[in-house]
Amino acid sequence: MKTGYVYRRKGKWVAAVPDANRPGGYYRKSGFLTKGKARDYLYQRRERIENLQTGLPTKGNYLYRLFFEEYIHYIGKNYAYETLKTYRGVIKSFLIFMKTKYPRMQWLSELKLKVFEDYKIWLKDTKHKSNTVNNHLKTFKAMFNVAIKWEYMEKNPMKYVECVNVDDEKIIVALDTKERFQLFFDRCRQLKPEYYPHYYCSAKLGLRLGEMVTLEWSDVDLERNMIKITRKDTFSPKGRNKKDKKPKERIIPFASDVREMLLTLPKTNKKIFLKQGRPISRKDKSLRRWIVAIVRGTELEGMTRFHELRHTTGHILALHHNIHEIKEFLGHADLKTTMRYVKVADETKVRMAETLGKFGFATPPTTHEKKK
């Protein structure tokens, strides 16, 4: 079935809407100033035409592929690029599954519990990890809640779909002791000194990869020792404010060691962290590959992701700060997310036990009391 498209002609955008009653199978509307407005018109007009041609009610009888297109458009307008990328990946996997398992299904109303139980099995069979499977299921639950809000569905088919047991979770390798931290950066200085500031500042500031590569000198206040994570043309911070739905901006204070590190970097570009004198692409894999190379053959082997430097920040902070303070520093919206970054050290647990032991008084029971 045709889905329509938009294109540019003579400086204006045109929406080509599928319509079987028109010559060539399309109704064309021109004169839009932006691509987004042309797409909005395409989605609205296409829905009205389809409902008239099929004679079907909207709820539940809406093509799931068209809903996915609209939803991706909605995510792109309202959320960060990382979120959009996640949803695109989930939908791409699901469409491959549907083409293989249920090629004749077309409507949202046909996406029942059994479909997603089969989808879980398919994801596991195609070597997806348990956490990935559960993230796919949670993503669809959120998508269908929006479909209900848009009156495309009456019930969420994910309501009774259970997540799978997580038995293959990757072990997080963090630089959570002074010795491990020193080991990593000593080897980094030997093997890849160019990336030393990138890794060091990310571990001390809790930076995500997208935040690090898009950070600009205008975001740094060296007088007050603060960095501001803010929206750019090619970057949107993770999370949205509840009131105005704008991307969340975050202020990160830093200590003297980070300040000294920043002062050693050349100001040859508006971006702070460079690769061979040029800005780093968010798709660049070299930062990850060099982490793997640095830890190879050491006790840190198994550290494979740039994001584990952010986990390092959480582990270090957990030595002296509570989880609510860490949540604010890392910029998490949900405390459950922070809990994945925090590991209570053994010595901290011992101090906790001592605190409990000092509270109140207890007398061991006498032999007479035991007999009773």
What mean pLDDT do residues 196-200 have? 95
Question: Does residue 1 carry a pLDDT above 60?
Answer: no
Say which residues have a Cβ less than 8 Å from residue 189's Cβ, sequence separation at least 6. Answer: 196
Largest CA distance in the chain: 100
Would you say 309 and 203 are in contact if contact means Cβ atoms under 8 Å apart? yes
Give the DSSP letter string of 297-321: TSTTTT---TTHHHHHHHHHHTTTS
Tokens in use for 263? 């002062």
Residue 263 phi, psi dihedral angles, 5° rounding:
-70, -20
Maximum average pLDDT range among 51-60, 86-95, 315-324: 86-95
Q: What is the pLDDT of residue 57?
A: 44
Q: Angle at CA 331, nearest 5°, toward 329 and 334?
A: 115
Q: Which backbone phi and psi does 18 adopt, to 5 degrees? A: -60, 130
Q: Among 102, 41, 50, 110, which residue's Cα sits nearest to residue 73?
A: 41
Q: What is the pLDDT of residue 239?
A: 67
**Has residue 35 got a pLDDT over 80?**
yes
pLDDT classification of 39: cutoffs 50, 70, 90: confident
Alpha carbon distance 163, 131 (integer Å): 9
Residue type, 320: H
> Is residue 324 scored above 80 in pLDDT?
yes
169 pLDDT more than 80: no
Helix (H, G, I), strand (E, B) or coil at 7: strand
Question: What is the per-residue pLDDT for 305?
Answer: 92
pLDDT of res. 326: 83
Structural domains for the chain = 5-149 (no CATH), 178-352 (1.10.443.10)
Which residue shows structure tokens 């691509």? 35
pLDDT score for 144: 94
- Reported confidence tier of residue 365, pLDDT bands at 50, 70, 90: low
